[in-house]
Structure 1
Amino acid sequence: MSALGTRTRLGYSLGSFVTGAFGTVPGLLLLPYLTDTLAVPAAAAGAIVLLPKAWDVVFNPVAGRLSDADLVRRGSRTRSLLAGGLALAVTFAALFAHPGLGGTGADSAYVVAVFFLCATAFAFFQVPFNALPAELTGGYHERTRLTTWRIAVLALAILTSGAVAPAVVNGVGGVDGYRVMGVFVAVLIVLGTVAVVLGIRGVPTATPRRPTPSWRELAATMRQWRSFRLLLGVYFVQALGVATLLAAVSYVARYVLGDAGYQSLLFAGFVGPALLVMPLWDRVGRSGGKLAGFRIATVAFAVALAGLAFARVLPPALVFVLVAVAGVGYAGVQVFPLALLPDLITEEERRTKAARAGVTAGVWTAAEALGLALGPSLFGLVLSWGGYVSSTNAAASQPDSAVTAITLGFSVLPAVLVALGLPLLRQKVFGPERRPHDGDSGERKVVDA
């Protein structure tokens, strides 16, 4: 199981329309939906965005154990993928339905409850989705190739959902704009779910190992598994930085650049380069190693973000150039941790003789979800610190201190968070990147056409 065919790579990668849409749109639009449509104070809105996502920290490892057990019983993770994706589509459309319950408190409670359901459904999709690369192929470089395909499609998914969703909201306007946007994203989620299930159908996976028998054994594994803990720490702080950046985009367009129409352009400028540079990051990983590529991408991302601290005085064209450079780095920091993860899982499964893919993916997605949830919450605190004025009018004027806070929350804060991962990316912790048994030497077997 070294080389995968085009159908499998593409089918698996199209699942990124599910993860991309749900990972992007709430972080991009839920906070302004709460502050500028439901008139929820900024700090409270940040807490509303955080609480349901924090549930993932507890539930995702449980979803991972259930997925591992399902793999042992049925030889496939597709049941969870299908059920989770379809349930997510329904609950996402409901999230922005705005039933109009008669007050800010009641409407906020509705958003919290439905967002909890969204997070639960997403766990049943994302956990097995992240576990699959370790099982679809044992090839060291094939995993990088599969991940670059996945992140390229993820970039397209983020671009589609992240650029079109705000355009739909602004084009239709008001509450109806959010309702139409919710249905649009739900359709993307359904299409992505069906595509990944069909794409991996019939593809042989690694022989299922016994599932982790107890939480005590899992905890012992995590204590001993230093390389995974460090990689997870890097991914968490960088996800937090990305989420903070995304939460700021709507506010930057309106109050820093002075045109709400720039929101989709900013988003496209950030995500679009990933569609072009994936072959570059694949070559970097093959020639210099995944860890070195991760470091290079992190530096490029952080430096470009730091330059955006001057967005208030720079010409808009130069702001978009810096955003594009940040997008190149962002593509790399998405590819390399996800390419390293299955290698770590394989080594740990060899050591323990037990299934680790599902529970590891559960812990991984829990940390990612927490980072993505904390980002808007953190940015909400930045808005509150700057004296941001919440209202039902998205065009309400803001004090200069709020505009400064928006700028710093879009640039310096995420730059620092992204750069915090650099000290953790040490070669002596992760060990040699090429191993004799990595599956890329010798004859390569194509498992589908």
Structure 2
Amino acid sequence: MSTEARPERASVRLSPRTIALYAVGSVGTGGYATLPGLVLTYFLTDHLGVAALAAGLIVTAAKIWDVVVDPLIGAASDRQLARTGSRRGLMVTGALTLPVCFALTFAVPPSWGVIGGALCVLLAFLATATAFSLFQVPYVALPAELTGSYDERTRLLGWRVVVLTAAILLFGAGGPALRRAGADPVLGYLVMGVVAGVVIGVGMLIAARTAPSTGSGTQAGESGTQAGGSGTQAGGSGTQAGGSGTQAGGSGTQAGGSGTQAGGSGTQAGGSGTQVDSGWRHQYLSGFRALRRSQPFRALLGTFLLQALATGTMLAGAQYVATWVLRSEDAVTLVFVALVGPALIATPVWTAIARRTGKESAFRVASVLFAAAAATITIAVWAPGAWIYASVAAAGVAYAGLQSLPMAMLPDVISHDERRSGPGQAGTFTGIWTAGETVGFALGATAVAMTLAATGYISTVSGTTVAQPAAAVTGIVLSFSILPALLMAASLATLGRYRLRRADIDDPTPADA
């Protein structure tokens, strides 16, 4: 990236309209992350009668699919940005297709049988995951393009997390309420899927309007150039990251182009050669190269993956804790209010702490607080009771920081890499990031399912009442307490290797610039 462009971008304060429109996208993110994580495993085990281990494998398989497609979607988003000047197209496609797929996921009745029902849920959830990734991957890439300021990114992502927190509360409490809207559980799940899917899709469509659109054949407002170069990329003379007339060492063409950037008057990669192989193998290799060359990205991604796994176990276990520990299926609403409600107040506080101490220091404090709060819930093995809500609320205060701070640090990582390797790969980073987040939440649900299976949990169909063995109830408590606490503690080791600070972003060294 040219040294002239960065200070100009960093000096611009984001408008309230931009922040508001971007934040609305978290209605979609919160809804998709919350309802499947909260009720899908329970839907399979206690509505369709699927064995706990099989239910966990179904959820995991759908999430593994995300890991496969997210890097490809990230690369496609980068190509769309280079070709059209905007990432908006993929975001709109995901917003329009997700509501239908989401509703179909919860439209399966028990009468279809265990195998047939499980297969239909798997296929519908695979389609839902794909639609969500089409939106989420470019959505996560936008902050790095909207502002170059260290603190403005914290402000942007802080408000996004406020909306995310409200969305989690809305879907976490409203989803189960919709499910109980009628006496027929089949109709209840269908209503929940339809209403939630529509709300998620609308939020995504609104957020897609924040994607910068600079016109066909341009990127970042330049005519026929990428990131301020005249016939060059990243300021090189016919090179990208040291290549001679090539991009990433190739000598072919850019997606069938002929030395031009989708209609621009200059060329991309600056020489007579152009961007090579845009096939799936090249996209995965681009992701591995990004991981290899960016140490801050490796540290931040490892931390976020472990923390997604920790919060994923709590999310997947919440319904089971409500039903079998607090002895009320409806108590899941109170668990969610206790977890998410404090975050509405705490998010601005974490933003203020990050301004004073730095994002990484605030992130570390939030991680320690969450681990301590989760660990105290282990006492429920011997003394279950309403006191659990207090521990969950303390975890909720920390949860606000765990959501906002790493998301504000990711654009810093992308900017740091741009200075060293050239622009145009934000989608590659966010594709890997979204895949890592997905893996964490998926394995969280899998960990809960495996714990239930190992402790003898009994699956049922709707309308059937059983008594769970004491070992299964103990397993539920441990998967909601000590397991996420240990994972959160492990994430502190990877966070300790994160080296970027405020001065690295707002006052880069000449070598970085």
Using the size of structure 2 for normalisation, the TM-score is 0.82
| Structure 1 residue 424, shift from structure 2 partner | 1.4
Instruction: Map 1:141-290 onto structure 2 (within 5 A).
Output: 141-173=151-183, 174-200=185-211, 206=220, 209=227, 213=275, 214-215=282-283, 216-290=285-359
2:189 maps to amino acid: Y
The one-character-per-residue Cα deviations of 1:326-380 (angstroms, maximum 9, x if unpaired) are: 0011111111111111001011012111312101000000011111111111100
**In structure 1, what is the equivalent of residue 150 of structure 2?**
140
Matched, 1:413 2:483: yes
CA offset digits 1:212-263 (Å, max 9, x no partner): 7544454233212121011101100110111110111111111101111211
The SS at the match of 2:56 is helix
Structure 1 residue 147: Cα displacement: 0.7
CA shift digits 1:307-339 (9 cap, x unpaired): 111125556442111111000111111111111
Q: Higher relative CO (CA 8 A, sep ≥ 6), structure 1 or 2?
A: 1
The within-5 A match list for 1:21-420 is 21-98=31-108, 102-173=112-183, 174-200=185-211, 206=220, 209=227, 213=275, 214-215=282-283, 216-314=285-383, 316-392=385-461, 393=463, 395-420=465-490
C-alpha distance in structure 2 between counterparts of 1:44 and 1:137, whole Å: 45
Q: Deviations over 1:392-444 (max 9, x none)?
A: 146421011111000101111111111111011226x41333247459xxxxx
CA separation of 1:75 and 1:34: change in aligned 2, threshold 3 A: same
Specify whether residues 438 and 162 from structure 1 end up closer, same or farther in structure 2 by C-alpha distance, changes over 3 A only.
farther
Indicate conservation of the 8 Å contact 2:87/2:212, yes or no. Answer: no
SS at 1:431's partner residue? coil
Task: Identify the structure with the greater helix proportion.
Answer: 1
The whole-number CA distance in structure 1 between the counterparts of 2:19 and 2:465 is 44
Determine the C-alpha separation between the residues in 1 that align with 2:65 and 2:506.
38
For the residues of structure 1 that align with 2:130 and 2:291, how far apart are their CA atoms?
A: 23
2:467 alignment partner AA = S
How far residue 194 of structure 1 moved from its aligned partner, in angstroms, is: 2.2
For 1:386 and 1:164, the matched residues in 2 are separated by 31
> Matched residues in 2 for 1:436 and 1:66: separation?
27
SS at match of 1:132: helix
Distance in 1 separating the partners of 2:287 and 2:412: 18
Q: Structure 1 residue 70: deviation in Å?
A: 0.4
SS in 2 for 1:197: helix
Instruction: Tell me, in whole angstroms, the C-alpha distance in 2 between the residues paired with 1:179 and 1:187.
Output: 12
Q: For residues 12 and 384 of structure 1, what CA distance do their matches in structure 2 show?
A: 41
1:102 to partner: Cα distance: 3.0
The answer for the alignment partner of 2:495 in structure 1 is: 425
Kept in 2, the 8 Å contact 1:298–1:333? The answer is yes
**CA distance in structure 2 between the aligned counterparts of 1:147 and 1:32, rounded to whole angstroms:** 31
Distance between the aligned counterparts of 1:201 and 1:133, measured in 2?
Answer: 11
Deviation at 1:130, TM superposition (A): 0.4
Asked if 1:14 is matched to 2:20, the reply is: no
Q: Do the aligned residues in 1 keep the contact of 2:22 with 2:160 (CA within 8 Å)?
A: yes
Could you list the runs of 5+ residues in structure 2 that have no partner in the other structure? 1-8, 228-232, 234-246, 249-274, 276-281, 509-513
CA–CA distance in structure 2, aligned partners of residues 203 and 152 of structure 1: 29
Instruction: State the shift of 1:136 in Å.
Output: 0.5
The reply to whether residue 3 of structure 1 matches residue 8 of structure 2 is no
Residue 156 of structure 1: how far off its partner (Å): 0.6
Question: Which runs of 5 or more structure 1 residues have no equivalent in the other structure?
Answer: 440-449
Task: Name which of structure 1's ranges 220-229 and 302-311 shifts more when overlaid on structure 2.
Answer: 220-229
Which amino acid counterpart does residue 191 of structure 2 have in structure 1?
Answer: V
CA-based RMSD of the aligned residues comes to 2.0
Matched residue of 1:15: which SS?
Answer: helix
* TM-score, normalization by structure 1: 0.93
In 2, Cα distance between equivalents of 1:118 and 1:374:
18
Q: Is the 8 A contact 1:169 1:177 kept in 2?
A: yes
Matches of 1:342 and 1:202, distance apart in 2: 19
Q: Distance in 2 between matches of 1:306 and 1:42?
A: 24
CA distance in 1, matches of 2:220, 2:387: 48
SS at match of 1:434: helix
Cα distance change, pair 44–15 in 1 and its aligned pair in 2 (3 A): same
Q: 1:52, 1:119 within 8 Å by CA — same for their partners in 2?
A: yes
Q: 1:193, CA displacement in angstroms?
A: 1.5
In structure 2, C-alpha distance between the alignment counterparts of 1:170 and 1:254, rounded to whole Å: 15
Paired amino acid for 1:416 = L
Quick check: which has more Rg, 1 or 2? 2
> Structure 1: how far apart are the matches of 2:408 and 2:73?
22
